[in-house]
Amino acid sequence: MFYCTKMRYNLPMLKTISGYSPHLQSQVRQLIEQNKLGDYLFVRYPQVHAHSTDRALYAFVQEMKNSRLKNTAPLSKVLYDTKIKELNRALGMHTFVSRVQGGKLKAKNELRISHLFKNAPEAFLRMIVAHELAHLKEKEHNKAFYKLCVYIEPNYHQLEFDTRLYLIYKERFGELYGTNTTGRQE
C-alpha cells in the first residue's frame, strides 16, 4: 500500500505551505486576515465538478490516464475514500496488491481520492489525479516525478498550491461551495 506523505491533510493546513517562499506565505496570511481568500479562490475556480460518484470518477481518471499514461498498468478500482482522511490524512493514494490467482501472479492497482475532492473544482481533482497517476510510474517525489505531473497536467504546480489554499480555506471558514448548486455558499 502506498500513500503520499507529501499530499496530506495536516492540521493546521497553513503548515502545508511552509515549503513555499516567505513572500508567498505572507501573501496568503494577508488574504486570510483581510478575509479575501475565498474571493481569490472563487474568482479562479467558480464551479465544482460533476464527477462526484465513484463511477464518474473512474471515467474521469481513465480518460486522463489514456491520454497521458497509456502504457501503465490498468487500474482495477478507482474510488472516493471517506476513510483515508481519518486514517492517515492522505489526500490521495494508490494501492498496489499482488496476488496469486490460478497459478498466476496478478497485480492490482487501486487509486483512492480523498472525499475532500468530491465537491471541489475540477482543476483540483485533476491535480490530485495527476499526482496519483504519476506515482504509478515513480514512487518518490523527485524531479522525474514532478516532470511527469506537469506532463499529465501542465498547470500542476499552481494547482497544487491553490488546492492547499482551498484546504486552508475549508479549515478556517468551512465550505466555499454550496452542496446543491455550483454557486458560492453564503
- Judged by CB under 5 A, the number of residues near Zn ion is 2
For residue 49, the minimal CB distance to Zn ion (Å) is 21
Q: Out of 4, 57, 167, 168, which residue is the one contacting Zn ion (CB under 5 A)?
A: 4
- The partner residues of 106 in beta bridges, in order of sequence, read 99
Q: d(Cα 113, Cα 175) in Å, to the nearest integer?
A: 19
* Contact string (CB under 5 A) for Zn ion, positions 6-45, x = contact: x---------------------------------------
Q: Which is nearer to Zn ion, 48 or 93 (CB)?
A: 93
Q: Which is nearer to Zn ion, 40 or 146 (CB)?
A: 146
Q: Which residues of 96-127 are buried (b: 16+ CB within 10 A; e: fewer)?
A: eeeeeeeeeeeeebbbbbbbbbbebbebbbbb
Q: Which is nearer to Zn ion, 4 or 159 (CB)?
A: 4
Looking at beta carbons, which residue is closest to Zn ion? 4
The SS3 of residue 4 is coil
Q: Which residues of 61-86 are buried (b: 16+ CB within 10 A; e: fewer)?
A: beebbeeebeeeeebeebbbbeebee
Q: Is 78 in the site for Zn ion (CB under 5 A)?
A: no
Question: Which whole-number Å values give the CA distances from 155 to 82, 109, 173, in the listed order?
Answer: 27, 26, 26
By DSSP bridging, strand 75-81 and strand 92-101 are unpaired
Q: Which is nearer to Zn ion, 48 or 132 (CB)?
A: 132
Q: Which is nearer to Zn ion, 8 or 49 (CB)?
A: 8
Q: Is 130 in the site for Zn ion (CB under 5 A)?
A: no
For residue 86, the minimal CB distance to Zn ion (Å) is 19
Q: Which residues bind Zn ion (CB under 5 A)?
A: 4, 6
